[in-house]
């Protein structure tokens, strides 16, 4: 039995079942998610290889070859139609056209399930999905359950990487108007033991880790690479549970009465569904979602434990984020532009600015150093890479406001993530494209001889789709020094 078969057997059926990685009913063979490719805006539904099975990742890869793809729809497998699509603006506007949030890259979160490749939804800050017309979700104080399998190493301290029940208006309509899983290290409201990340409940105007609206040491820091997270709520009763999605059982971190703050008892749930954002479309959070459901009714711990056993049996495992020409740690490399205009140009720096400059064997030693980079293990994700300046040891290429910059490593989590890049086979069919780990829709690009992380089309001039694949494809050669 699959998760939603198990929930149904307990009398708490799924009313939303979202999984880009696999079917969540043993008989489900419909579409799991939809991708759109940039080259011609065509869309493809990705379905399981067989009923109840893992997603057909090869279908996506063939469809997206030599271009980029975004996840446009995460289908609801429950049959009631609670699909998730690009979140519209709420109180806070998203970064995409007309205030919509961004869509996730289709390749930001590769994974394998019992040896079969699939893709999760990698939510970079600014990314969000929502359904403001959801049906059969809990309203008011009605009971519901939720679980999500997340990447416990991908989080931040901003508001709010959530999955669950929120306001259809996109507005903060008051305490108790949401009930979602939150994952991350945001401690503006509640917090748990240690530094985080924590599984908390976003109940609107507060992330709750237990009975106290502030700190509850019973809610542990939890950062398994694959983390099962649970939040559920009923009249004056709610719970946080979690565990390692690869192994072992769930623990109950809290189960008890509602917070003793006005507005949370009874609850005023409104029944929209969101992923990756807060109720008011706060979109600073980041995280990775592989699968999750919402149920009608408050599931028993026994049913959830059986769901956890099924998740463990699904065999989630990490696979490489890197492909294409290999890089050697410690080697000195250069990045040669491939756009016809610019093949004499190499990625270089002038002070803190990253640009392209014409460099050759007769260039000055200073310029040669400015265009040469030492390959280091990714500061934010060791299987990817960071590029240290040969001219300014201790300084790395990072992105800041989507421009590339050369900055000294300040030791922060943000710097490490901004300075981590995952090379892949070049988008134009030669060389390499250098994808941002933390914003995987974005790649090293030269635009008017300046370096950016650019998406293939988008709101900034440097995201222009024209020449994107060439501008974002580089030949990695030996360094000049
Ligand atoms: O409850 C935390 C956040 O507060 C909600 O997600 C958002 O709507 C509000 O800003």
Are 204 and 175 a contacting pair, CB within 8 Å? yes
* pLDDT over 70 percentage in the chain: 100
Known catalytic residue at 304:
no
Segment 300-323 mean pLDDT: 98
Distance 458 CA to ligand 1 centre (A): 27
Sort 446 into a burial class: Cβ within 10 Å, 0-12 / 13-18 / 19+.
buried
- pLDDT tens readout for residues 149-178: 999 999 999 999 999 999 999 999 999 999
> How many Å lie between the centroid of ligand 1 and the Cα of residue 259?
16
Catalytic residue among 101, 202, 204, 270: 204
Query: Which one of 101, 270, 280, 296 is the catalytic residue?
Result: 280
The pLDDT assigned to 373 comes to: 98
Q: Which of 161, 267, 280 to mutate to test the pocket of ligand 1 (most atoms within 8 A of CB)?
A: 280
pLDDT for position 338: 98
User: Is 305 annotated in the active site?
Assistant: no
Q: With beta carbons less than 8 A apart as the criterion, state whether 79 and 73 touch.
A: no
pLDDT at 53 (0 to 100): 98
Q: pLDDT band for position 347 (50/70/90)?
A: very high
To test the pocket of ligand 1, the residue of 172, 270, 287 to mutate (highest count of ligand atoms within 8 Å of its CB) is 172
Ligand 1 neighbours by CB, cut-off 6 Å: 159-160, 172, 202, 204-207, 278-280, 282
Ligand 1 centroid to Cα of residue 98, in Å, is 22
Beta carbons within 8 Å of 84's beta carbon, 6+ residues apart: 18, 73, 74, 76, 129, 130, 131, 273, 274, 275
- The whole-number pLDDT of residue 183 equals 99
Give ipTM to 2 decimals.
0.85
* CA-proximal residue: ligand 1, atom 6 (nearest): 278
- What percentage of the chain has pLDDT greater than the value 90? 100
The count of C-alpha atoms lying within 13 angstroms of the C-alpha of 143, restricted to the half-sphere facing its C-beta, is 14
Looking at residue 321, its pLDDT comes to 98
pLDDT in tens, 241-275: 999 999 999 999 999 999 989 999 999 999 999 99
Which atom of ligand 1 sits closest to the CA of residue 162?
6
- Ligand 1 atom with the smallest distance to the CA of 160 is 6
Instruction: Work out the burial of residue 115: count CB atoms within 10 Å of its CB; fewer than 13 is exposed, 13-18 middle, 19 or more buried.
Output: exposed
Taking the CA of residue 202 as reference, the ligand 1 atom at the shortest distance is 1
pLDDT of residue 224: 98
Rounded average pLDDT over 119-144:
98
What pLDDT, on a 0 to 100 scale, did the predictor assign at position 410? 98
State mean pLDDT over 133-145. 98
Residue range 426-457, pLDDT digits in tens: 999 999 999 999 999 999 999 999 999 999 99
């Amino acid at each position: 039995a699959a998760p939603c078969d198990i929930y149904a057997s307990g009398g708490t059926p799924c009313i939303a079942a979202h999984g880009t990685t696999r079917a969540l009913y043993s008989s489900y063979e419909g579409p799991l998610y939809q991708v759109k490719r940039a080259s011609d805006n065509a869309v493809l539904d990705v379905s399981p290889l067989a009923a109840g099975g893992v997603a057909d990742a090869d279908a996506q890869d063939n469809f997206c070859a030599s271009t980029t793809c975004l996840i446009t729809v995460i289908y609801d497998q429950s049959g009631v139609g609670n699909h998730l699509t690009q979140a519209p603006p709420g109180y806070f506007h998203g970064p995409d056209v007309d205030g919509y949030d961004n869509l996730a890259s289709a390749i930001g979160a590769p994974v394998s399930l019992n040896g079969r490749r699939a893709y999760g939804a990698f939510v970079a800050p600014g990314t969000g999905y929502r359904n403001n017309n959801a049906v059969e979700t809990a309203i008011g104080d009605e009971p519901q359950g939720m679980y999500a399998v997340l990447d416990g190493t991908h989080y931040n301290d901003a508001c709010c990487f959530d999955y669950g029940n929120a306001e259809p208006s996109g507005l903060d309509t008051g305490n108790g108007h949401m009930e979602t899983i939150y994952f991350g290290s945001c401690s503006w409201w509640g917090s748990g033991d240690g530094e985080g990340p924590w599984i908390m409940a976003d109940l609107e105007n507060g992330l709750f880790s237990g009975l106290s609206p502030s700190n509850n040491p019973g809610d542990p820091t939890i950062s398994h690479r694959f983390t099962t997270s649970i939040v559920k709520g009923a009249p004056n009763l709610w719970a946080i549970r979690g565990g390692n999605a690869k192994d072992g059982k769930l623990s109950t971190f809290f189960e008890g009465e509602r917070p003793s703050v006005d507005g949370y008892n009874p609850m005023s749930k409104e029944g929209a569904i969101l992923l990756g954002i807060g109720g008011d479309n706060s979109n600073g959070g980041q995280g990775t979602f592989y699968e999750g459901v919402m149920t009608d009714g408050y599931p028993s711990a026994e049913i959830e434990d059986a769901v956890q056993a099924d998740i463990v049996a699904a065999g989630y495992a990490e696979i490489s984020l890197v492909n294409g020409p290999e890089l050697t740690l410690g080697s000195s490399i250069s990045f040669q532009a491939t756009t016809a205009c610019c093949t004499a140009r190499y990625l270089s720096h002038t002070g803190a600015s990253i640009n392209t400059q014409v460099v050759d064997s007769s260039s000055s030693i200073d310029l040669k150093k400015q265009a040469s980079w030492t390959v280091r293990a990714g500061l934010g994700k060791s299987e990817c890479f960071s590029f240290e300046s040969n001219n300014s040891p201790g300084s790395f290429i990072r992105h800041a406001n989507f421009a590339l910059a050369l900055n000294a490593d300040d030791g922060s989590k943000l710097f490490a993530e901004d300075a981590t890049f995952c090379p892949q086979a070049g988008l134009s069919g030669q060389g390499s494209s250098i994808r941002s780990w933390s914003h995987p829709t974005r790649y090293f690009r030269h635009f008017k001889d300046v370096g950016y992380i650019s998406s293939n089309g988008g709101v900034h001039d440097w995201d222009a789709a024209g020449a994107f694949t060439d501008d974002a494809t580089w030949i990695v050669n030996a360094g000049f020094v």
